[in-house]
Structure 1
Amino acid sequence: MGAVNIRGAAPQQDRGPKQDRGPKQDRSRATRRRLLESAVECLAAHGWSGSTVTVVAGHAGVSRGAAQHHFPTREDLFTAAVEFVAEERSRALRELPRPASVPEAVDTLVGLYTGTLFRAALQLWVAASNEPQLGPRVTALEARIGRETHRMAVELLGADERRPAVRETVQGLLDMARGLGLANLLTDDGARRARVVAQWAALVEEALAGG
């Protein structure tokens, strides 16, 4: 019976640490994600110069020591934030609803450039121009996001890029949307933006129809 008891007890001893590790790993992942989300929000709100590790940690509700446990340096934090922004923007693209018309598709695509993720990405672009450790990674990730955005725009618009000038029309739309996103950083000019988007939607619809 002693042998049975030992065999019965051993699995309980093994399970204990495993059960402990699970919640700890979950908490660690949750803290890491909170820090990355806060880094994005701080970048969008305060820019690169105002987004220190201390500021991000405070926004995330964790201690500076906890932040540095996950990201020992500011560069580590914001390099990870570059990847996080890229993944979140990719997810946003994949989850876009399928609009019923070209004007709806144009409006949806423009919306990608007026939110927090774009504002944070823009701050990273600016920082990357002066921070050598960020530059190559931001460039590579933005190239990937650019390709995904173009592909998604083609799908949303139902565009056939085998036809003349269609590819250029789609890319011109995205360039216009990016410009509107930049303008939105300074002031919320929603009424003017709506008129510009409506005009572009008409031009895109005409181009796609072969007019």
Structure 2
Amino acid sequence: MRQRLMEATVDSLVEFGWAGTTTTVVSRRAGVSRGAQLHHFPSKQDLVLAAVGYISERRRTELEAGIADLPEEGRTRAVLEVLADHFTSPVFFAALELWVAARTDAGLREQVGDLERRIGRETHAQAVELLDIDETRGRNRQLVQATLDLVRGLGLAATLSDDSARRAAILDAWATTLDHELER
């Protein structure tokens, strides 16, 4: 039941946003009684905060799934594609709804901020590993961070329209830049 509630919360955040995600909508979508949902999560805040943890685990799992079959030839571009897919996924869009809501809700901001800092560190470490670099060399650390900022921004742009052609061209150019600038 908990997993159904978490999935329904994430789906609701993606489809209806923060404002449209209510405990009634979530319980209906999860196929559980409102009483059962309220027993586990007495408020929307409780439900969404639990979903924050669930979202972080799903985001990590999605990213790890995308890295299993990276090629050696064209690896940098393939890594960028995995990262871009991660930041244009429904899970990222649900997390984005939480970020927006957290901007004006101090309690949610603290929870989301702590979680996002942890996820950010994990994603950075995964990118370093995927790119097979030593981040202490040269400007590698800054280039990885710029990469994550870039794909996050491309993810934000994808919330408004399908910009996959533009995104692909940008990732092609950035892969060339990284291949020239990263110290291997």
User: What TM bracket, shorter-length normalisation?
Assistant: over 0.9
Q: Is the 8 A contact 2:63 2:82 kept in 1?
A: no
The number of residue pairs the alignment matches comes to: 180
Give the alignment partner of residue 77 of structure 1, picking from 43, 47, 56: 47
Counterpart among 93, 105, 110 of residue 119 in structure 1 = 93
Partner of 1:92: 62
Deviation of the 1:98 alpha carbon: 4.6
Query: Partners of 1:107 and 1:201 in 2: how far apart?
Result: 10
1:130 aligns with 2:104: yes
TM, length-normalised to structure 1? 0.81
Q: After TM superposition, give the deviation of residue 75 of structure 1 in Å.
A: 1.0
Structure 1 spans left out of the alignment, 5+ residues: 1-30
**Equivalent of 1:182, from 156, 179, 183?**
156
1:161-183 residue CA offsets vs partner (Å, 9 max, x unmatched): 12211111111010000000000
- Residue equivalent to 1:49: 19
2:152 is equivalent to residue 164 of structure 1: no
What residue in structure 1 maps to residue 121 of structure 2?
Answer: 147
Aligned-partner SS, 1:203:
helix
Task: Compute the displacement of 1:133 (Å).
Answer: 2.2
Q: Please give the alpha-carbon distance, in whole angstroms, between the structure 1 residues aligned to 2:55 and 2:49.
A: 10
Which of residues 187, 193, 197 is equivalent to 2:167?
A: 193
TM-score by length of 2: 0.93
How large is the Cα RMSD of the aligned pairs? Answer: 1.3
* Greater displacement, 183-192 / 93-102: 93-102
The share of aligned pairs that are identical, in percent, is 46
CA contact (8 A) 1:98 1:156 kept: no
